[in-house]
């Protein structure tokens, strides 16, 4: 997973899909999601970029994408939203959705 100071719009561009985890430090389900995302990022290295965005520290992207619940996971491909889910997702769900996106 990547921590960076790049602008959000720059971050979600490119040929490699970007999975963005909108989370908060105080959020219990977000803490459950963290090891799932770490495992997913390790298994899918080179196929997807995984980025965590703290909604409390980064309100602008949270407002832009109308994040009303955390965790919310959004997958972007070439700057466009191709998948979105609020709540905890399994690694197998993330992997199958990534496979579908890359096959399109």
Q: Give residue 13's pLDDT.
A: 87
CATH number at residue 86: 3.40.30.10
Does any domain span residue 6?
A: no
User: Residue 27 catalytic?
Assistant: yes
CB 101 within 8 A of CB 45: no
Strands 49-54 and 18-23, sheet pairing:
parallel
Per annotation, catalytic residue among 19, 30, 48, 89: 30
Q: Give residue 10's pLDDT.
A: 85
Q: Give residue 5's pLDDT.
A: 61
Full pLDDT tens readout for the chain, 104 residues: 555 467 888 888 888 999 999 999 999 999 999 999 999 999 998 999 999 999 999 999 999 999 999 999 999 999 999 999 999 999 889 999 888 888 87
Per annotation, catalytic residue among 1, 8, 13, 27: 27
Does any domain span residue 99?
A: yes
User: What average pLDDT does the chain have?
Assistant: 90
Cα-based distances in Å from 37 to 1, 52, 60: 8, 9, 23
Does any domain span residue 2?
A: no
What total of structural domains would you count in the chain?
1
Q: Give residue 102's pLDDT.
A: 84
User: Residue 79 catalytic?
Assistant: no
């Amino acid at each position: 997973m990547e921590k960076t100071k790049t602008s959000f719009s720059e971050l979600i561009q490119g040929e490699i899909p970007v999975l963005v985890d909108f989370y908060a430090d105080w959020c219990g389900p977000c803490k459950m999601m963290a090891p799932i995302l770490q495992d997913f990022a390790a298994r899918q290295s080179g196929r997807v970029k995984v980025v965590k965005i703290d909604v409390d520290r980064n309100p602008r992207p949270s407002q832009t994408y109308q994040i009303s619940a955390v965790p919310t996971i959004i997958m972007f491909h070439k700057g466009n939203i191709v998948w979105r889910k609020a709540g905890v997702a399994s690694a197998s769900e993330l992997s199958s959705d990534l496979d579908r996106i890359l096959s399109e």
